[in-house]
Amino acid sequence: SSLFAIPYLPRYASTYSLPALHVASAIFILAMQAVVLASSPLAFLIFWELMSIAAYFLVIADREPASIKAGLIYLVMAHAGFSCILAGFLVLAHGNPLMDFTLLAQSITNLSPAMLTTAFFLFLIGFGSKAGLMPLHQWLPLAHPQAPSNSSALMSGVMLKVAVYGFLRVTLDVFPHIDTNWAIVVIVISLLSAMLGVLMAAIETDVKRVLAWSSIENLGLIFFMIGIGFVFKNLGLPSIPFFVAALLHSLNHAIFKSGLFLAAGAIISERHTRDIDEMGGLANSWPLFSLAFLGLVFGAAALPPFGTFYGEWLTFQHLATTLSSVPLGIAFLLILSLSILALVSGLAIFTFVKTFADIFLGRSRTESNSKPKPLPQSMVLIILSTTILSLIIGVFVSPIASVLAHIFSPFNHAIQLYAPLSLTTETIQPLFVVSIFILIAFVGYETHQSLLRKRRIKITETWDCGQPINAHMEYTATGFAAPIRFFFRSILMSQKHMLTERITPQNPWILRRKLEWDTTSRLEEHLYTPLGNLVLIIAAKIKRLQNGIIQFYILLILITLVLILGFAI
């Protein structure tokens, strides 16, 4: 991603203050690495905060009003999350944040269940808000698209994974035991996030927001895999496939989402808009780039032979195989999860087909656009390399999965390079899948060439029913997603306003019509606005303390001191 910045950022030298951006990026990357390396809660928290602050400066980098608003929302959410994590650690460690993770794990065995439950949910809120889980997801589709594309790639690709890491680290290393009820809460929240994320991604037309919503969906899937893993662990069933699937999916998501954000950046810098409705026809000008993008789309839609497929396959297969060996109640939960996952994966395909088709296929929907200039080689190569990396994970998924499984049970997993993937009782041979695709490409290319040689291809206009058609008659992304908006209208609650205006005031029949969409989630209205008002009201009440009498302030300090002493003793 940093490599991508070299050809990419100079195009925006006037929008961003480049030195500041570089500093913020460097601190951001450093802090993310430090969080993962931290061995004590204190270091973890410090670098976590550093990461959040650096990300804030990336979000507001272009100093647009929209970015500053998004940055503010992000900052509030990040700090709410941070204080939850801090509180979680303090609850676990009896207020002593200086011990390291192993000591912490030993010391909490004598905590009461109520304390553990509180701590777990504090962590869930903290890490969940960073990972964009429902209902604390609102900042993500606002903040990620506002950052420069290479920073969005880092934020979606890596920062969300840091949240996954934090959650796994705490739940696996520190907590002695994860209650099944807690895990079920995680499952419900994550399935809701996946479903809402993919639905919003399906109807969204801003390319970077599509990617941001899709991140919510994927993080939902990852947290689902973790949650169901804990349920299986408690039932005494093999849980490793789920944890491996979660890690595999995190890895894949980091790669394909970074690639997609970078590609989106390249497209936006050419088209000067983020609206998919105004794009189209790029595949002819940038064939190699579109091929790379199609590969990433396969990754994002979890289709073979790319790596993402195997993570989802492990989950589906393991859920399905264990159905008949669990109690009926749990089986019902598994079936419901399986159906929701199926719908989510179907809609994910929908989302990315829409994105690819409306950006690359057909002809450009705004006719003023001249033929796009060829992209710099280095940009294409970097995006192609993410596609290839995603494919390599798909081909060598079995050794990677064995290594990941090794983390959870350090025995019994020989690492073989070409073995079929077999963590459950079912196996799948990645090489078989890949060879099918190579065969298709080869046969297709040969037949195409032979048809060309026989001069049996004639290039014409699109069939137009007898009157000329133009690019405005093409289906846009908004039109493409219309059936989804209709079928899920009770969930999405999007609002359509038909604005009519008389062209001549006397004649009521000749009207100018305009459609307006409002697809913002109702959740914002019903949850965030009252919450914000509540905070404002409380703040106004507290403000009365600030009355300017110095004796009163001294009294407050005294009361605080007495209270602290009282707690300490």
Partner 1 sequence: MISVLSSVIQTVLVILAAPLTVGLIRKIKARLQNRQGASVFQPYWALLSLWRKQMTITKYSSWVFHAVPFVVFATSTILALCIPALGTGSWTAQQGNLFLLATALAVGSMFLVLGGMDVASTFGGMGASREMTLAALIEPAVIITFTTLGTLANTWNFDGILHAASQTPWLTSHPFFLLTILSFICVLLAENARYPVDNPATHLELTMVHEAMILEYSGPYLAILEAASAIKLTVLGLLLMNLIFPFFLTITSPLGALASLAGFSIKLLLAAALIAGIETVFVKMRFYRMQEYMTVAYFLGLAGLILSIAF
For partner 1, the binding residues in 283-312 under the rule CB under 8 A are: 283-284, 287, 290-291, 294, 301-304, 309
Range in contact with partner 1 (rule: CB under 8 A) among 339-347, 372-380, 507-515, 537-545: 339-347
Preceding omega of 65 cis (within 30 degrees of 0) = no
Residue (182 or 356) nearer to partner 1, CB: 356
Distances (CA, A) of 219 to 64, 232, 384, 548: 28, 20, 24, 48
Range in contact with partner 1 (rule: CB under 8 A) among 44-52, 99-107, 128-136, 475-483: 475-483
Q: Which of 80, 105, 235, 471 binds partner 1 (CB under 8 A)?
A: 471
Cα dihedral sign, 498-503-508-511: negative
> Rounded to the nearest whole angstrom, what is the least distance from the CB of residue 329 to partner 1 in the complex?
11
Residue 313 binds to partner 1 (criterion: CB under 8 A): yes
Place of tokens 């929701």: 340
Rounded to the nearest 5°, which phi and psi values hold at 452? -65, -40
Cβ neighbours of 520 (radius 10 Å) = 14
Q: Which of 69, 475, 494, 523 binds partner 1 (CB under 8 A)?
A: 475
Range in contact with partner 1 (rule: CB under 8 A) among 49-57, 82-90, 325-333, 392-400: 325-333
> Rounded to the nearest whole angstrom, what is the least distance from the CB of residue 444 to partner 1 in the complex?
3
Q: Is 441 exposed, middle or buried (0-12, 13-18, 19+ CB in 10 A)?
A: exposed
> Rounded to the nearest whole angstrom, what is the least distance from the CB of residue 459 to partner 1 in the complex?
5
Q: Which of the residues 414 through 433 are near partner 1 (CB under 8 A)? A: 426, 428-429, 432-433
- Type and span of the H or E element at 388: helix 377-395
> Rounded to the nearest whole angstrom, what is the least distance from the CB of residue 452 to partner 1 in the complex?
10
Q: Which of the residues 476 through 535 are near partner 1 (CB under 8 A)? A: 479-484, 486-487
| Distance separating alpha carbons of residues 137 and 156, to the nearest angstrom | 13
Range in contact with partner 1 (rule: CB under 8 A) among 24-32, 317-325, 541-549, 558-566: 317-325
Q: Which of the residues 74 through 113 are near partner 1 (CB under 8 A)? A: none
Strand partners of residue 499: 514
For every residue of 100-116, which 3-state class applies, written as one string?
CHHHHHHHHHHCCHHHH
Residue (185 or 349) nearer to partner 1, CB: 349
Report the Cα 460 to chain-centroid distance in Å. 42
| Distance separating alpha carbons of residues 132 and 101, to the nearest angstrom | 25
Burial state string for 14-26 with b = 16 or more CB within 10 A and e = fewer than 16: eebeeeebeebbe
Q: Assess contact for 516 and 496: CB atoms under 8 A.
A: yes
Q: Which of the residues 350 through 409 are near partner 1 (CB under 8 A)? A: 350, 353-354, 356-358, 360-363
> Rounded to the nearest whole angstrom, what is the least distance from the CB of residue 150 to partner 1 in the complex?
27
How is residue 227 written in tokens? 């949650």
Strand partners of residue 501: 512
Give helix 377-395 / helix 430-453 axis angle, nearest 10°.
Answer: 130
| Count of residues of this chain found to bind partner 1 when the rule CB under 8 A is applied | 79
Q: Which of the residues 258 through 287 are near partner 1 (CB under 8 A)? A: 280-281, 283-284, 287
3-state secondary structure of 411: coil
> Rounded to the nearest whole angstrom, what is the least distance from the CB of residue 432 to partner 1 in the complex?
6
∠ CA(56), CA(57), CA(58), 5° rounding? 90
Residue (23 or 469) nearer to partner 1, CB: 469
Alpha helices in 93-168 (DSSP H): 101-107, 113-131, 139-146, 149-154, 160-168
> Rounded to the nearest whole angstrom, what is the least distance from the CB of residue 336 to partner 1 in the complex?
9
Range in contact with partner 1 (rule: CB under 8 A) among 116-124, 133-141, 240-248, 345-353: 345-353
Range in contact with partner 1 (rule: CB under 8 A) among 109-117, 316-324, 400-408, 551-559: 316-324
Residue (134 or 477) nearer to partner 1, CB: 477
Range in contact with partner 1 (rule: CB under 8 A) among 71-79, 152-160, 328-336, 386-394: 328-336
Burial state string for 444-454 with b = 16 or more CB within 10 A and e = fewer than 16: eeeeeeeeeee
Q: Which of 205, 250, 345, 355 binds partner 1 (CB under 8 A)?
A: 345
Residue (78 or 333) nearer to partner 1, CB: 333
Residue 320 binds to partner 1 (criterion: CB under 8 A): yes
> Rounded to the nearest whole angstrom, what is the least distance from the CB of residue 244 to partner 1 in the complex?
17
Length of the chain measured in residues: 569
Q: Which of 3, 80, 349, 493 binds partner 1 (CB under 8 A)?
A: 349
> Rounded to the nearest whole angstrom, what is the least distance from the CB of residue 368 to partner 1 in the complex?
16
∠ CA(229), CA(231), CA(235), 5° rounding? 115
Q: Which of the residues 426 through 465 are near partner 1 (CB under 8 A)? A: 426, 428-429, 432-433, 436, 439-440, 443-444, 447-448, 451, 456-464
> Rounded to the nearest whole angstrom, what is the least distance from the CB of residue 159 to partner 1 in the complex?
29
Give helix 160-168 / helix 18-37 axis angle, nearest 10°.
Answer: 20
Range in contact with partner 1 (rule: CB under 8 A) among 157-165, 330-338, 499-507, 558-566: 330-338
Strand partners of residue 511: 502
Residue 559 binds to partner 1 (criterion: CB under 8 A): no
Residue (44 or 480) nearer to partner 1, CB: 480
> Rounded to the nearest whole angstrom, what is the least distance from the CB of residue 450 to partner 1 in the complex?
10
| Distance separating alpha carbons of residues 118 and 101, to the nearest angstrom | 18
Give helix 41-59 / helix 160-168 axis angle, nearest 10°.
Answer: 160
